[in-house]
């Protein structure tokens, strides 16, 4: 599949056709991919447009909560907004339309299953929203955002919670096997003190079933459990 066809397919899933497809390409480009090109610049990858998308997302969900939930106080609105726009929520929403398959990643991130990492997918969600806002305006960005997050919004507004504790989910499934040994083992710690990255291997009864990377050990453990839940297959009874 060439790049034009790839972008066209994703726009079909997104239900929005860009006037400037280059904005979508930028939104889907992780810096690891850009850094593999010669002389990468800020307009080649999605961090700046993600910054914009994050602000648009907060505005859209704040507007929704203010309009639809006039009975709840500011503190509760803040919590509900945080639940809706959390990393795992945005990642889940984009994965529902297989958006993670269209992210441009460098070889290192590809080899570590970067397309499944909530942090990378959630950042792409915000960047895509920012790109739609630039390309088509606020009203279109709002419409698409609310459609993508419809499941999460309905759950939170109904008083429910989004179960994003993958470690607990996995533990409950594995314990069906009876006595089990679940271990999260630190394999790598990289980067400067202010920007560390941790890699965790997950073992079930001595067998490796997942690997995760994150900015904290806790985040890496959650990512490892999430990967195991996705790829567990026969082991998890899927």
Q: How far apart are CA 211 and CA 22, in angstroms?
A: 33
Domains 3-157 and 166-236 share a fold: no
Cβ pair 186, 97 in contact under 8 A: no
More confident residue, 237 or 154: 154
What are the structure tokens assigned to 164, written together? 């994003």
Q: How far apart are CA 166 and CA 118, in angstroms?
A: 12
Band the pLDDT of 17: cuts 50, 70, 90.
Answer: very high
Q: How far apart are CA 123 and CA 205, in angstroms?
A: 34
**pLDDT-wise least confident of 32-46, 56-70, 123-137, 159-173:** 159-173
Q: How far apart are CA 126 and CA 108, in angstroms?
A: 23
Q: How far apart are CA 29 and CA 6, in angstroms?
A: 13
Which residue out of 109, 123, 126, 152 is catalytically annotated? 126
Polymer length in residues for the chain: 238
Q: Does residue 238 register a pLDDT over 50?
A: no
Class of domain 3-157: mainly alpha
Q: How is domain 166-236 classified at the CATH fold level?
A: Double Stranded RNA Binding Domain (3.30.160)
Beta bridge partners of 80: none
Band the pLDDT of 194: cuts 50, 70, 90.
Answer: confident
Q: Does residue 233 register a pLDDT over 60?
A: no
**Cβ contacts of residue 65 below 8 Å, gap of 6+?**
72, 77, 80, 81
Q: Does residue 110 register a pLDDT over 90?
A: no
- Catalytic: 189? no
Residue-range domain boundaries for the chain: 3-157, 166-236
Which residue out of 50, 54, 135, 152 is catalytically annotated? 54
More confident residue, 10 or 111: 10
- Catalytic: 101? no
The stretch 204-220 carries a mean pLDDT of 88
Cβ pair 58, 81 in contact under 8 A: yes
Which residue in 100, 86, 83, 79 sits closest to 30, CA to CA? 100
Band the pLDDT of 196: cuts 50, 70, 90.
Answer: confident
What phi, psi does 237 have (nearest 5°)?
75, 25
**Cβ contacts of residue 61 below 8 Å, gap of 6+?**
81, 84, 85, 149, 153
Q: What is the pLDDT of residue 39?
A: 76
């Amino acid at each position: 599949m060439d790049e034009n066809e790839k972008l066209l397919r994703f726009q079909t899933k997104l239900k929005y056709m860009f006037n400037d497809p280059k904005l979508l390409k930028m939104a889907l480009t992780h810096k690891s991919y850009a850094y593999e090109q010669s002389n990468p610049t800020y307009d080649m990858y999605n961090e700046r447009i993600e910054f914009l998308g994050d602000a648009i997302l907060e505005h859209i969900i704040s507007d929704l909560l203010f309009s639809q939930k006039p009975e709840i106080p500011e503190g509760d609105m803040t919590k509900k907004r945080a639940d809706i726009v959390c990393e795992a929520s945005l990642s889940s929403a984009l994965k529902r339309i297989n958006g993670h398959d269209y992210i441009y990643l460098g070889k290192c991130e590809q080899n570590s299953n970067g397309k499944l990492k909530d942090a990378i997918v959630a950042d792409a969600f915000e960047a895509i929203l920012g790109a739609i806002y630039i390309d088509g305006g606020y009203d279109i960005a709002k419409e698409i955002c609310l459609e993508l997050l419809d499941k999460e919004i309905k759950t939170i507004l109904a008083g429910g919670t989004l179960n994003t504790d993958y470690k607990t989910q996995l533990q409950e499934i594995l314990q069906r096997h009876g006595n089990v040994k679940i271990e999260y083992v630190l394999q790598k710690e990289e980067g400067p003190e202010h920007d560390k990255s941790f890699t965790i291997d997950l073992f079930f009864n001595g067998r490796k079933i997942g690997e995760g990377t994150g900015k904290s050990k806790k985040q890496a453990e959650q990512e490892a459990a999430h990967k195991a839940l996705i790829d567990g297959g026969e082991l998890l009874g899927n």
